[in-house]
Amino acid sequence: MDCLPGVENLGPNSTKDSLLTDVEGILYPKETTRYWEEIQNFKARPDDLLICSYPKAGSTWMQEIVDMIQHGGDPEKCARAPIYQRIPFIGFSIEKIEAIPSPRTLKTHFPVQHLPPSFWEQNCKIIYVARNAKDNMVSYFYFHNMINIIPDSGSWDEFMENFIAGKVCWGSWFDYVQGWWKAKDHHPILYLFYEDIKEDPAREIQKIAQFLEIDLSASVLNRIVLHTKFENMKTNPLVNHSDLPFLFDQTTPPFMRKGKVGDWKEHFTVAQSERLDNICAQLFAGSGLTFRTQL
């Protein structure tokens, strides 16, 4: 599968029960650590654009928004290929990605300390999307049970303990969002919040366009807003990954499940909610980093 090399030969259960691999205290899929040296030696270019988020925090949404901005809000141009080919993932083999002509738009889930160093060296523009811990945790819980390269989530209570401890794939959400928050003070990073995009997509899309130095007319902006509504994304086979059955079991749930702010209320007990609020308050105190858990 183009731009997903290294996972195209997976069977439905080929790695489901495999353990994740620990790299400096962070758990990654074995399919990532298998290409670790290759990934770390990736040669970024100065005009590369990187989209980054913790898993299930809105990176696929951001990919489609960015592609629409770059192509003047023309959905036909964005229908040229599936999203993972238009904006490939830095996390498996990168051999085919290196052959893509400039300018490239790429995606990753790496925390700041494991991003291939060349992205920092080339001072590449980065768009980072952050989602509140509660909704992110719920979405990630379901995601573990549908993707075939990481273990199942276990019970909700078990998953919550692992999430809080950072013992989940791609590491601690708390460390992750703080690492990128601090990095924005030293690098050209546009740090966006999932909740802000849901609240006012036109406003946030304009921020992205300005960051990319692209002017959007009102009509183009409106087309992008409409095209990237969650309801439209969910049914779009070019973005919902329905063409990757070897990787995603989308019988229950689909890759794009609800896409809402506040879905956590259907999963958290009062005590669990308060506990997570307290953890965030302690860890983020004085940093200026705050998250909304409802609109």
Q: Which residues are catalytic?
A: 109
Beta pairing class for 21-23 and 26-28: antiparallel
Residue 127: strand pairing partners: 51, 190
In whole angstroms, what is the distance from residue 61 CA to residue 197 CA? 10
Residue 147: DSSP 8-state: B
One-letter amino acid identity for 277? Answer: D
3-state SS of 159-217 is: HHHHHHHCCCECCCHHHHHHHHHHHCCCCCEEEEEHHHHHHCHHHHHHHHHHHCCCCCC
In whole angstroms, what is the distance from residue 28 CA to residue 117 CA? 18
**3-class DSSP state for residue 79?**
coil
**3-class DSSP state for residue 81?**
coil
Contact criterion met (CB below 8 Å) for 252 and 143: no
In whole angstroms, what is the distance from residue 128 CA to residue 66 CA? 12
Burial class (CB in 10 A: 0-12, 13-18, 19+), 196: middle
Residue 147: strand pairing partners: 248
CB atoms within 10 A of CB 216: 21
